[in-house]
Chain A
Amino acid sequence: MKKEYITLFAWIFSFCSFSVANAQTTNVTSADSIKTGNINTNGMVDGGLRTEKSWRNTGAVFTLSGEDLTRMTSGNLLNTLQGRIPGLTVVTGSGEPGYDNPTLYMRGQSSWNIAGNQVLIYLDGFQVDLGAISGLSAYEIESVTLLKDAAALAVYGLQGGAGVLSIRTKRGEVMPKTQITVNGKYGILSAIDLPKLMDAYGYTTAYNQALQNDGLPIKYPNPELYKAANDPFHPNVNWYDELLKKTSTIQDYNFSFRGGNKTAKYFVLMNYTNFEGLYKNADIIDKDFGTNAKYTKLNLRANIELQLNKNLAVVANISGITEDRNTPSGFAAFDVFNALLEIPAAAFPVKNPNGTWGNSSIYGPNGYNPVQLLQQNGVYSSHTRTLQTNFGFTQKLDALTKGLDLRGAVSFSNQYVGTYQKLFSVLSYEISKDANDMPVRDANGNVVYKTIGSISQSNPDGGGALWNRTAVQVGFDYDRSFGKHTFTGMVMARRQGYSHNGITYAVRTQGLSGDVTYDYDKKYIIDLTAAYNGSADFAPGHRYGFFPAAGLGWIASQEDFLKDNSVISFLKVRASYGTTGNINEAYRFLYQQFAISAPGWITGTANTTQPGRTEGRITNPDAAWEKKTTLNVGIDLKLWKKLSATVDVFSEKRTGILEIPSADVPDYTGFSLQYANTGEVSNKGFEASLNFKDKINSFEYYFGGSAAFARNKITKRSESPEPYNYLYTQGYQLGQMRGLVYKGFYQQSDFDANGNLKAGVVSSSYTNVKPGDLKFADQDGNGIINGYDKVPLNYAKLPQITLGFNLGFKFKGFDFDAYLEGVLHRTVSLLDDAYYYTHPFVNNNNITAFSANSWTPQTAGTATTPRLSTQSNANNDQVSDFWMRNGDFLKLRSVELGYTLPQKGFLKKLDAIRIFVNGTNLFTWDKIDDLEAERLSMGYPLMKAVSFGLKVKL
């Protein structure tokens, strides 16, 4: 008995001195039983903090097996989740190696505060940051579960409001011999779509046209000169070709050991990933001062479980990841891809005739020769070190009362990003040109150059982002049946601390979570869940909240009238209702007021600026978390033991959304109010998934689909009074696109002989319009286009509907799997996301295929873009549906064909050898001309990949 005492005391000690999160050390999910979907009747459902037999689960959850994640070739684990989990929207980030994190949303959005929609990430039962997941290998993942409704989320209390994505890594299993698995994958990537630009001839002729439209003299007297291939004075440079390769590579190798016996079980994995960028000839001059984008990653994981004696089990999960990212110094990928768009083909040659770097002071960002910066400017390297550990124990307390366990766990995880640059800048030269667009020569006939830039070197050393999380939890589990009555339950005390660079005071929460589940005869299920927890962000006395939820389940297929039904093999109806909360790191300590610095005044003859100071925003002692109430009704169904379907319908309401309720306070008070919990958003939708699986002789096949829909509406928001109802955001969805309604171009017939607008034609408050400018609908009928004419249009950028389709087969050693993702009800704005692509010549910008058919008096009837101009045009640049595009798309996310070699001859000793070829993002269908819909081809392009791989099991 002494041993138990020691364990307990050790734990108590750690509880007082550390802070904490949570772990699930018992009820180990049986590793092979997890299937996609949430009605795997044999398995367990992972709830992050708790696990439940899936038939007893009353909440809306969806589990994806780790195997599905291995089908996509990506340097970032998060991107393999795209479209696979109904209810989880994965908004793709950049395609740049190592800088490609997506953003996750559960059931769309329900708050206008960004952090209010942040999905919580749990790894092996403890919260981690998104950056800790992106580096994991798909081969160490057992399952990914999305928790969606109150029954599943109430245990998270004031942190569960935006959903939880719980990821479990593989664990050891009792096996006769150790299973050694080796995986290798080599992928070739290419850009899905790059923007199409005009060549030098097209640019110069169009530029002349634009100058004429502006009433200015032309700049290029002889555009024909730019047709020559290698005239350095009249260059025709395809900057994309100069800077980018057609393909890059990604490699991924890992081996793992998995096994165990009654006393010890283990899973050990080592993984190496190398992801190269698209930059061309990056180290042609010097390896050290010009480097391709590169992402190298090394993962180590050891998950160990020990059964120390009959009653005591301990578990330790340790994972270390090193990630090294290299990019050329002096530019971020976003800058360089903007520069590639901005610098015209006719701007300057890559190298001057005398061998020096070409440049120009007017095009693109000043002094920007992309090839020079790539090859001869240095390297920017960033080094990420991630450590995740958790340790837990389970002590059976059957002696006290049967079915009772005590379990506790401690977790520590952190990440540090350090950066280091080697910068080395050299001179570049601009060829001076005369009024006839010919090079200026000196008396000796030599070309006159202007020097740009300076020579310098430095190696700045910068610390980067860091975070660490500690968590402690302890609690009891209970599981016991009395005849037809079965009770399970848990109660858990948790502490979590989170700190990162940039915050003064740690984010801390603590509290109790618990649940009681009761079932009668495996037919009727009642699940009561609650959390009572508090956060350090609020005033003493207002820190704790109670978050209850109730779930009901009825397994109709267990009833006598359905029990032996040959069609319906499983039918469950479930419903849940409850509340969760959402604390927000951006709005902390609102109960305090300080004297803050404020505008001052200039005094005296010396014009001394005197500082000012004033009372800060008045306090809000009642400030609290945002609160979400969710009703979810679901059905799980299995027919003929082949077709399984799950449907969830939800209605949720977020209340207490933080905002400054200034509209309720008249200006004459002179106050500035503090953020208060006054906003409200409702969100409704459904998720449905369907899977069919069958076998004809040795031909096994399956197909399935899923659909998720979520539409939110702002129901209460403090907004300043507006003259027209459509100007309020209230009543519309979050992020609703708004703008002027495009009504064709101003034509010459709209103007009188003096160039003034005729009476009755709408004018614009933004500029004096000319023929060829965009004409808009005058919504308020006052004869002038201004902000009051901007109406809600189309949808938001975040899609309302995501679809997934999956099919595959297995036949005589061959296996095939394909996955399609679709996104509907999405609107993108070229004005916001592709400005340089759509705005020729402004600020010496380039011209692209977008403007190929611009307005001129001759093309007035057929033009698709406004008149060319070298000047910015505030009228045309207003948000309007002219710039909006249907953002729907369908992508073939993955397709894989594999062949498992028969176990014959010398292969007999191996368990399995499988070779496969795999495609990622091979096909995209969208409705936007020339651009890829997801990211509009801006920034580092999204990539498609073809990869080949091998899997050996020993």
Chain B
Amino acid sequence: MKKNRYITTLIVLGTLLYSCKRDYLDVQTLQAGVTVDKLYSNYTYVQQQVWNTYSYLPNGFNYLDMEAATDNAEVTYALDKSQTFNNGTWNQYNNPDSAWATNFAGIRQANLYLKNKDKVDISYIKDKITSSDSTTYFNARNNVKFMQGETLFLKAFFYFELVKRYGGVPIFE
């Protein structure tokens, strides 16, 4: 009799444990952060994605000191990156001109845009039009087309930068 009571208790205990509704390990009940889907569907984020692609362009002022690797300039600072060329210590492992990695990273960003370009949704801008002025919508519609052109150009430019330096390089679509 006593035994049965214990067993009943244990069964009840087990059932109750099992029936705790939510999985204790699901801590992320509220999701914070922009999902990748949103990146390509939300007009604002798409624009930001294209601007990010621009950021892989060579930024001339950041490379001004590279002039010191030529005969045009001298740099007094001993640790300047151009000195790696001046004292001949650059090699395949250490190249201060990081064009290889940077341009391929830019190409990937461009490809990501081109792959997802049709997902952008600007209908909400149209829905927001309350007056006869539709400029915002037309601008957005045009900009979606422009962005495609901009990205194609950027991709071409990144390849140009690579081909200039390395000749034949792998092509990624």
Contacts and interface: CB of A to CB of B under 8 A. Distances in A.
Interface string A716-733: 000011110000000000
Interface in B5-28: 5-7, 9, 12-13, 16-17, 20, 24-28
Interface residues of A, number: 64
A667 B34 contact: no
Contacts of A597: 48
A482 interface: no
Contacts of A505: 27-28
B25 A600 contact: no
A19 B51 CA distance: 45
B87 interface: yes
Nearest to A723: B93
Nearest to B37: A595
A118 B51 CA distance: 42
Contacts of B93: 720-723
Contacts of B145: none
Given A12-B13, A595-B39, A668 B104 contact: yes
Given A4-B9, A506-B27, A615 B112 contact: yes
A20 to B, nearest CB: 9
Given A12-B16, A600-B48, A600-B52, A765 B25 contact: no
Contact of A593 (B17, B20, B36): B36
Most buried by B among A495, A535, A595, A768: A595
Given A16-B16, A767-B78, A612 B108 contact: no
B142 interface: no
Nearest to B94: A787
A178 interface: no
Contacts of A612: 48-49, 51-52, 54-55
B137 interface: no
A610 interface: yes
A613 B105 contact: no
Interface string B103-125: 01111110010000000000000
A662 to B, nearest CB: 10
Given A399-B2, A543-B25, A595 B35 contact: yes
Interface residues of B, number: 54
Interface string B96-107: 000011001111
B25 A535 contact: yes
Contact of A510 (B12, B24, B49): B24
A16 B20 CA distance: 6
Most buried by A among B79, B84, B93: B93
Contacts of B105: 667, 670
Contacts of B79: 766-767, 874
A915 B99 CA distance: 75
A504 interface: yes
B34 A611 contact: no
Interface in B33-51: 33-36, 38-39, 45, 47-49, 51
A673 interface: no
Contacts of A765: 78, 83-84, 87, 89
Nearest to B24: A510
A595 B83 contact: no
A931 to B, nearest CB: 29
Contacts of A495: 24
Contacts of A767: 78-79
A784 interface: yes
Contacts of B88: 784
B26 to A, nearest CB: 7
Interface string A515-545: 0000000000000000000111000100100
Contacts of B100: 667-668
B119 to A, nearest CB: 13
Contacts of B104: 667-670
Interface of A: 1, 4-5, 8, 12, 15-16, 19, 397, 399-400, 493, 495, 504-506, 508-510, 534-536, 540, 543, 589, 592-601, 603, 610-616, 667-671, 720-723, 763, 765-768, 782, 784, 786-788, 874-875
Given A536-B27, A595-B35, A612-B49, 19 more contacts: A493-B17, A508-B27, A509-B25, A510-B24, A510-B25, A536-B28, A540-B26, A594-B33, A596-B34, A598-B55, A601-B57, A610-B47, A612-B52, A613-B48, A614-B109, A614-B112, A668-B104, A765-B87, A875-B78
6 contacts: A510-B24, A595-B34, A595-B49, A600-B52, A765-B89, A767-B78
